[in-house]
Amino acid sequence: MWKDSRRSRSEEQRAQRLVLDEIETNIALLGEVRERLVDDNEAAKTNREVIAPPPQIPTESWRTVRLAGTLSSADDLAKEIGLTYHRLDILNQRIQAREMFRATNKALTGYNVARTSINNVLMKSVDDVLPRLESHRTALRKAER
């Protein structure tokens, strides 16, 4: 029983570190997404655009940990992280839709206005999910101790 509990705790700690590393990466990437969207909004004011698309936010580590059921002892935290990652999935879909819109609608009149509107929705999504990720990072760091 002692070996099983020790192995279980070890797996849980590895899973927490894996998710924590991904959250750290996502926080940095969300800053980059926000920066690119702000730059693109500024460029749209002068009828220009930023060509580099915002990066997708990785969610693979969380999916792996969730499917393995490794964070069972932190149920409330796991539920909150799950909700945040659901929002990240929606953000990724919106980023993909933005790029599809950009690729197919460049010839439309009023493209800069429409693109700015899309960018603003994306920035709001980033602003909503970023504090949640930072909160999860803090909670996971506390759980490591």
Digit-coded pLDDT (tens) for 52-91: 889 999 999 998 888 887 776 557 888 899 999 999 999 9
Q: What is the pTM of this model?
A: 0.76
How many whole angstroms separate alpha carbon 88 and alpha carbon 33?
A: 12
User: Residue for token digits 């970023």?
Assistant: 130
* Tokens encoding 122: 């994306």
Q: Give dist(CA 97, CA 72) in Å, integer.
A: 34
For residues 74 and 143, the answer to whether their CB atoms sit within 8 Å is yes
CB 14 within 8 A of CB 65: no
pLDDT 10s digits, 109-139: 677 778 888 899 999 999 999 999 999 999 9
